[in-house]
Amino acid sequence: MLENIRLSIQGIWSHKMRSFLTMLGIIIGIAAIISIVSTIKGTNEQIKQNLVGAGNNTVEIKLYQNDWEYEAAYNGLPQGVPIITDEIRESILEIDGVEKASLYLNRNYAEGIYYHNTSLNGGKIYGIDEQYFSTCGYQIQKGRGFVDKDYKSFRKVAILDSAAYNSLFGGNEPIDQTIEIQGEPFTVIGVCEKSNTFKPVINSMEDYYNYMAAGSDGGIIFIPDASWSIPYSYDEPQNLIIRAASTDEMSSAGRKCADLLNSYVTSSDIKYKASDLLEQAKSLQELSAATNQQLIWIASISLLVGGIGVMNIMLVSVTERTREIGLKKAIGARKRRILAQFLTEAAVLTSLGGIIGVAAGIVMAQVISRISQTPSAISVPAIIFSVLFSMAIGILFGLLPSIKAANLNPIDALRHE
């Protein structure tokens, strides 16, 4: 085998231009497939990151009435939905894929929040437990966070995110200032911000407007969940947010948590649902899957053309080396030896084309990424498959010329001019 490979390389090198032109179809086909697969993979990762975010892996499990998020501010206390206890929270932490879990209460459209004559327009208010900031990746930028005594003593204290801080205070010092929440005075003790603020890749004006619309609220005010009933008069069932161990585990972990919480719910139309952003990302990826497959099939046509070129040049090679084949058979070379030699030469030829095509495909993917401003991600399985596939093409299309060479009559071959 090694001798056949050495002879194949020697034969390819002695006809460099002819060999390169023969490999060209293989090179173009492999390069096209690698660049397309890399662009597809990069785009899919961008879709996932734009929806899911980078690194926080959090999933919200909220109460829904039929297909709409349940709003306690408008609908009152839901019937048949119990308060989530510490025991239930511990059960959630035992679910596979769940790293951290936090319970919270919220108003998505908070009203009655003022600092002097300045109101928080379009803001939200969250009543959070002690695990919320670590679960969601918030860090205190000014002041302090909530401590155990804030919960046990039902202190009226608040932490603002940077958007709420700018809306209410306009850059002035907020610590120890008093804000009103539903007519109740709360002391600002800190300003927080997410430690890993994710900004999606924006490639069009539509992406820009969607991103700005999603982030155009007035900010969030956090208070201890123990103090929630002070401005809102009653206790209510909490929502849940979990941090999954990895992005790929978000869907299953969120679904299992929702199922666990729903096992305690007796209402027929109010249920917990996980915000499955990963499934949304997969749905968007599947929309383009058919088009992507068509592109790959079109690129594969050049591989077929390259294979025909290999068969053609191998037939020429058999004709050129007829006397050599006759001499080998005359001194005792068997059919399978001749067959193996020409098959090896075809496989080496296409494998070299495949390797060059892989390198060209990687370069092409990077060029396309820079020109079109779309991400690319090199697929190692695609590279391995491409090289093996190019080798298979060499064997398949080199089979006919190799059989022809192996079946030559030694006497006729030696007489060949």
- How would you write 225-257 as a 3-class SS string? HHHCHHHHCCCCCCEEEEEECCHHHHHHHHHHH
What pLDDT score does 344 carry?
Answer: 80
Q: Distance between CA atoms of 301 and 134, rounded to whole angstroms?
A: 53
pLDDT at 170 over 70: yes
| pLDDT value, residue 412 | 58
Q: Tell me the pLDDT band of 245, cut-offs 50, 70 and 90.
A: confident
Query: pLDDT: is 58 or 186 the higher one?
Result: 186
More confident residue, 164 or 390: 164
Mean pLDDT computed over 73-77: 80
Among 85-99, 189-203, 276-290, whose mean pLDDT is lowest? Answer: 276-290
pLDDT digits (tens, 9 = 90+) for 338-354: 777 777 877 888 888 88
Q: What is the mean pLDDT of the chain?
A: 79
- Report residue 198's pLDDT band, with 50, 70 and 90 as the boundaries: very low
Q: How confident is the model at residue 279 (pLDDT cuts 50, 70, 90)?
A: low
Structure tokens at 379: 């697929």
**Mean pLDDT confidence for 390-411:** 71
Q: What is the pLDDT of residue 314?
A: 75
Q: Does residue 200 have a pLDDT over 50?
A: no
Which residues are 240's β-sheet partners?
Answer: 61, 103
Q: Categorize the per-residue pLDDT at 125 as very low, low, confident or very high, splitting at 50, 70 and 90.
A: very high
Which of 3-12, 56-65, 157-166, 202-211 has the highest mean predicted lDDT (pLDDT)? 157-166
pLDDT band at 144; cut points 50, 70, 90: very high
Q: Kindly indicate the confidence band of residue 403, based on its pLDDT and cuts at 50, 70 and 90.
A: confident
pLDDT at 201 over 50: no
Strand 220-224 versus strand 124-128 pairing type: parallel
- Residues in the chain, how many? 417
Full DSSP string of 13-56: HHTHHHHHHHHHHHHHHHHHHHHHHHHHHHHHHHHHHHHH-SS-
**Average pLDDT of the segment spanning 156-184:** 92
Residue 320 binned pLDDT confidence (cut-offs 50, 70, 90): low
Contacts of 367 (CB under 8 A, 6+ apart): none
What are the φ/ψ torsions at residue 270 (nearest 5 degrees)? -115, 120
Q: How far apart are the first and last CA of the chain?
A: 30
Q: What angle, 0 to 180 degrees and rounded to 10, lies between the N-to-C axes of helices 380-406 and 16-52?
A: 150
Output the pLDDT for position 160: 95
- 143 Cα distance to chain centroid: 37
Percentage of the chain modeled with pLDDT above 90: 25
- The whole-angstrom separation of Cα 398 and Cα 307 is 8
Residue 349 has a pLDDT of 82
pLDDT recorded at residue 195: 73
Query: Taking residues 371-390, what's their average pLDDT?
Result: 75
Exposed/middle/buried for residue 119 (C-beta within 10 Å: 0-12, 13-18, 19+): middle
The lowest-confidence range among 26-30, 118-122, 148-152, 321-325 is: 321-325
Read off φ and ψ for residue 67, nearest 5 degrees: -105, 5
Q: Residue 14 phi/psi, 5° resolution? A: -75, -15
Check residue 330 and give its pLDDT: 72
**Is 98 a residue whose pLDDT tops 80?**
yes
**Other Cβ atoms closer than 10 A to 113:** 26
Looking at residue 207, its pLDDT comes to 46
Report pLDDT for 205. 42
Q: Retrieve residue 247's tokens.
A: 């992005």
Question: How far from the centroid of its chain's Cα atoms is residue 122's Cα?
Answer: 31
**Span 104-124, pLDDT tens digits:** 999 888 888 999 888 988 889
